[in-house]
Amino acid sequence: MNMPAVNISGGQAGSKHDRNMHPARSFRSDKSILTLNCGSSSLKFAVFNFGYEPQRILSGSVSNIGAADSRSRALNADGAVLWDEEEPSVNHPAAIDAAMNRIERAEHIGAIGFVGHRVVHGGPDCDCPEPVTAQLEARLRRIIPLAPLHLPANLEGIVAARLRLPNAQHVACFDTAFHQPAPPIARRTGLPRDIEKDEIRRYGYHGLSYEFVVEHIRETEGAHALEARMIVAHLGAGASMAAISNGRSIDTTMGFSTLSGLPMATRSGDIDPGLILYLLQEKKWSVCDLEAMLYEQSGLLGISGRSGDMQSLLGMATDPNVRDAIDYFCFQARKRIGALAASMGGLDRIIFTGGVGANAPVIRANICRPLETLFPLRLDNARNAANAPVISSNASSIQLDVLNTDEEIVIARHVAEIVEKRDAFGREVI
């Protein structure tokens, strides 16, 4: 696994400009940074040497937490497998504890002095990473209803890591922060103004992934490349798209919750609110049953009746229900591309990322081919099949890119920046 060696600046609170002022600066420590990304049933982790430009030592994951076939896997910086075994983990604390046992036995790992946590939602006023404090944890517990599928797992991870590493300094990095500067019109919900206040607004998610894409382009192509009107398609088990211009979020498919926008592995995506009312009032569904259906039983899984995993579905595409699920996903993605292009007044570039976006040529082709009659874009079949960095043809006016996202390096750099810039924890750390 070759991780991109790019500079990711904070992207929030002016940090990117400070980074560019002294790009050659580097500081060292004998401590390491651990990054944790706790999903509803998974854990992704990575370890970096602490420094102004953190260097990855290893990365890994624990999948199917809570199931009998839970599995732990890790690779070193060169892509060699360090371990890949079934390892039962009943919950996130158990998964973190087991991963830490393995990490501490790995070579070249210094004492872990810093932990960066991916947190899906930071609340309405969150626009930058924050040190984890009792006050922050209390705030996150209060806003669990804003992200009920993700925040409980995020908080479980924070508590478990703090218990395991009580002397480490913990930083929360929020997926909603990237979209905080979006235009006010893109935050509106359509509800009455006296209701649409406080926490009720459109937020947007997958911000750490979008931030990686923006800063990758800035560092590899120059700041002028960000003047393009871009749509970044983060397609995975969770899926969203964002319209980005001049490096800023203009609009995004996810809104108030992680349910909205594109259909996902088990989440419905956009659904007529009148249908929700009908199920509640006429069919007498309970709120709990409705929540379970929307978050856990819909999307690709619900339509196909087979699986929510796109890779698995592509291997079963002769099943008409599976084919219908794939077609529905691509149909909805095309619709969102058209809408996001309209929000920017045009389109210069589409970047596919996420597990599906970066690794499923068939899905990219099914999304892009019908758009060739609407936009001046042309997909190159050979480049697309090879997952090339650029998959558009030379004749295409709109550039089509494939890029593996790297949320972990974004988190690690946020940690390094927040530690370097200010005495965030009330003590000297460098």
Q: At which residue do the structure tokens 């049933």 appear?
A: 41
**Which 3 state secondary structure label does DSSP give 61?**
strand
> 75-79: long-range contacts at Cβ-Cβ below 8 A with a sequence spacing of 24 or more?
75/1, 77/3, 79/1, 79/2
Burial of 334 (0-12, 13-18, 19+ CB in 10 A): middle
Tokens of 134: 């009792």
Distance CA 95, CA 185 (A): 41
Residue 6: DSSP 8-state = -
**Which 3 state secondary structure label does DSSP give 240?**
strand
How many Cα atoms sit within 13 Å of 345 on the Cβ side?
A: 2
How many residues comprise the chain?
430
Q: Which of 69, 125, 175, 380 is catalytic?
A: 175
Distance CA 130, CA 53 (A): 19
For residues 195-218, one letter each, b for 16 or more C-beta atoms within 10 angstroms of the residue's C-beta and e for the rest, the string is eeeeeebbbbbbbbbbbbbbbbbb
430 neighbors 419 (Cβ within 8 angstroms): yes
41 neighbors 66 (Cβ within 8 angstroms): yes
How many Cα atoms sit within 13 Å of 383 on the Cβ side?
A: 14
Residue 276: φ, ψ to 5°: -60, -45
Strand partners, 61: 44, 73
Q: Does residue 127 carry a catalytic annotation?
A: no
The sign of the torsion formed by the CA atoms of 116, 122, 128, 131 equals negative
Distance CA 33, CA 217 (A): 25
Distance CA 150, CA 41 (A): 9
Distance CA 29, CA 429 (A): 10
Render 160-184 in DSSP notation, one character per residue.
HHHHH-TTSEEEEEETTGGGTTS-H
Catalytic residues: 175
